Amino acid sequence: MVGTAFMNNGDQGEFIVKLEGEPQNTIYQTTQLTQKVENLLLDKPEVVKVFSNIGYSSADFGTGSGVNNKSEITVNLVSKDKRTMSVEQFAAMIKKEVQEIPGLKVSATPTSGMGNADDAPIQVLLRGPDVNKLFETGDSVIKIIKEIPGTNDVKLSIDKSKPELQIKLNREKMEQLGINVQQVGNTLNLALAGNTDLQYSDGADDFDINVQFDQFDRKKIEDVGSLTFLNNQGKVVELRNFATITQSLGPNKLERYDRISSITVKCSVYGRPVGTVGDEIKAAIKEKIHVPEITIDYKGQMERQADAFNSLFIAIAAALIFVYLIMVALYNSYLYPFVVLFSIPVAVIGALFALALSGESLTIFSMVGMIMLIGLVCKNAILIVDFANKFREKGLAVREALIEAGKERLRPILMTTFSMIFGMLPIALASGASAESKNGLAWVIIGGLTSSLFFTLVLVPSVYMSMEKYKEKFKKLLSRNKQIVAIESHK
């Protein structure tokens, strides 16, 4: 069976290891854990160098939130011909070894053709008005995806494990104490987030001054509870007197798509074509998830593949129509071009068979090869049909004309077909860096030309003969009807 994918990323010789420690970890603790992983990587002879970002996560970039418990390590390997494992296999091996370090969550993902490892190929976008329902549905989708073979590193785009203090106000007590919500919100914002209303000027330059509580004074529940407020009578009231303060875990960010609350389930794929895995995920979610208020869309490579394949199928249909119309103009007949077009299905069968034998997936490059194949295989059929018509003009019967056309055109057909096949072999057999992305195109052309070489020489003459027989029967039937009409009109 031939799998489908947007494109094969190829072996870039680089992958990214993402580490996540306990939520309360400090930068120092994250650094110590990252150094352990660095030492483990550098002990491998395949590793050339590593580069670490500590206190950073590309998934959380731009959220404005701290990620003290996270780090990323970019790993560069020796060239493909100097190692026995692909970058995917090596990354999977490293992930398994790093998982033995206690207190660490790890993912290891090869970089894509765009140089990005965070852009997960499988992305399921959930949208709805209720955030809690989104998280509940997201957890259900994660369970479904984990059951599909080939899925790896399944996670939500929003991390729900960020430590936070939740302050719940008691409105009745606030009214009794003479404190309003706006006053509390402004004071808490100033104390915990700070403001930059003040500026320091140095010549022509102005610098913002951020005024806020010291970290030491706002890291404990007791410290936050001791925050003071002035009521409408000028008396000092502590926060703990009218609010309940608890420590819990919450989301590190809130996402919206088209102004609607959203969350994305992401996963990478290992050992199977992305398109095939994506189709199985779609089918499983459609069968098991039935939440009317939640809209489910598919992004990432799944979306790009659907768009690209739709465009390429339209291009293939347009190519078939234009080839047919050009042959209609050349042959001055609507019938003979159909004989030529019968050579295309056998070429497609050969192309898919070649992809299956070589273990390649049907990608956008393979589809481009299919478009090229339409013109290449029609050439052989055109040569046979054209010469058969010439021999018939000389007075030969249909059978003899087709035999002579096959004899005359066999050598040119063999020469052009074999030259194209051997010309494509270096691309099909290439094994250098990123060669995988173009192997499929070459195998499609090789397989299609090979099958059309053998089947076109048999199929096209057979269709030509059958069409001529039906054509003669139609002419006889038409002439008989004319005779009947003439006799009846004479009477």
Q: Is the pLDDT of residue 314 over 60?
A: yes
Question: Count of CB atoms within 10 A of residue 318's CB?
Answer: 11
Strand 162-169, strand 243-250: pairing: antiparallel
> Predicted confidence band at 64 (pLDDT cuts at 50, 70, 90)?
very low
Phi, psi of 299 (to 5 degrees): -120, -165
Would the pLDDT of 449 be above 70? yes
pLDDT, mean over the chain: 82
Q: Which two tokens stand for residue 203?
A: 């010549």
| Helix ranges (DSSP H) in 169-271 | 171-177, 181-188, 221-225
| CB of 265 closer than 8 Å to CB of 138 | yes
Residue whose pair of structure tokens reads 């509870």 in the numeric block: 225
Place 60 in a pLDDT band, splitting at 50, 70 and 90.
Answer: low
CB 289: neighbour CB atoms within 10 A? 15
55 in the Ramachandran plot: left (φ > 0), alpha (ψ -120 to 50) or beta? Answer: left
Residue 479 clears pLDDT 70, i.e. is over it: no
Residue 58: predicted pLDDT? 66
Those residues whose C-beta lies under 8 Å from the C-beta of residue 188, and which sit 6 or more positions away, are: 167, 227
Residue 455 has pLDDT above 70, yes or no: yes
How far apart (Å, rounded) are the C-alpha atoms in residues 238 and 240? 6
Mean pLDDT of the region 289-317: 88
Q: Which residues pair with 70 in a beta bridge?
A: 20
Structure tokens at 381: 């059929």
At residue 484, the pLDDT reads 62
Residue with tokens 């054509």: 471
Query: Is pLDDT of 127 > 70?
Result: yes
What's the pLDDT at 144? Answer: 92
Q: What is the mean pLDDT of residues 255-283?
A: 87
Q: Which residue has the higher pLDDT, 490 or 254?
A: 254
Only one residue has tokens 């398994």, namely 96
- In this prediction, residue 142 carries a pLDDT of 92
pLDDT band (50, 70, 90) for residue 218: low
Residue 119: CB atoms within 10 A of its CB come to 17
Amino acid at 419: S
pLDDT at residue number 195: 74
What is the helix (H) or strand (E) element at residue 263, kind and residue range? strand 260-269
Range in 402-406, 419-423, 443-447 with the lowest mean pLDDT:
402-406
User: What pLDDT, in 10s, does the model give residues 413-422?
Assistant: 888 888 989 9
pTM across the whole model: 0.73
- CB of 141 within 8 A of CB of 124? yes
SS3 category, 231: coil
pLDDT tens for each residue of 367-386: 888 888 888 888 888 888 88
Do 1-116 and 333-488 fold alike per CATH?
no
Lowest mean pLDDT among 84-88, 98-102, 223-227: 223-227
| Element containing residue 388 per DSSP (H, E) | helix 364-393
Average of per-residue pLDDT across 383-403: 84
Strands 122-127 and 70-77, by their bridges, are unpaired
- Per the CB < 8 A criterion, the answer to whether 110 and 87 are in contact is yes
Residue 216 pLDDT more than 60? no
Residues 55, 69: Cα–Cα separation, whole Å: 6
305 or 490: which carries more pLDDT confidence? 305
- 29 within 8 A of 125, measured Cβ to Cβ: no
Question: According to the model, what pLDDT value does residue 145 have?
Answer: 92
| pLDDT score recorded for residue 284 | 92
Residue 36 CA to residue 24 CA, distance in Å, equals: 19
Domains of the chain, by residue range, sit at 1-116, 162-250, 333-488
| Type of residue found at 197 | D
Confidence of residue 461 (pLDDT cuts 50, 70, 90): confident
Q: What is the rounded radius of gyration, in angstroms, for the C-alpha atoms of the chain?
A: 35
Report pLDDT digits (tens) over 333-380: 788 888 888 888 888 889 999 988 888 888 888 888 888 888 888 888
CATH number for the segment(s) 1-116: 3.30.70.1430
Which residues does residue 165 pair with via DSSP β-bridges, in sequence order?
247
Buried b (16+ CB within 10 A) or exposed e, 400-424: ebbebbbeebeeebeebbeebbeeb
Can you tell me the mean pLDDT for 255-273? 86
Give the pLDDT of residue 207.
82
As a whole-number percent, the residues of the chain with pLDDT over 70 amount to 90
> In whole angstroms, how far apart are CA 446 and each of 7, 270, 320, 439, 475?
19, 28, 20, 11, 41
Is the CATH number of domain 162-250 3.30.2090.10? yes
pLDDT in tens, 129-166: 888 888 889 999 999 999 999 888 888 888 777 777 78
pLDDT of 31 strictly over 50:
yes
H-helix segments, 118-165: 131-146
Q: Which of 63-67, 113-117, 136-140, 155-159 has the highest mean pLDDT?
A: 136-140
Q: Which residue has the higher pLDDT, 218 or 126?
A: 126
On the 0-12 / 13-18 / 19+ scale of CB atoms within 10 A, 278 is buried
175-215 confidence digits (pLDDT tens): 888 888 888 888 888 777 777 777 778 878 888 887 776 66
Task: Classify domain 333-488 at the CATH superfamily level.
Answer: Multidrug efflux transporter AcrB transmembrane domain (1.20.1640.10)
Place of tokens 């420590």: 247
pLDDT at 482 (0 to 100): 59
Segment among 45-59, 123-137, 217-231 with least mean pLDDT: 217-231
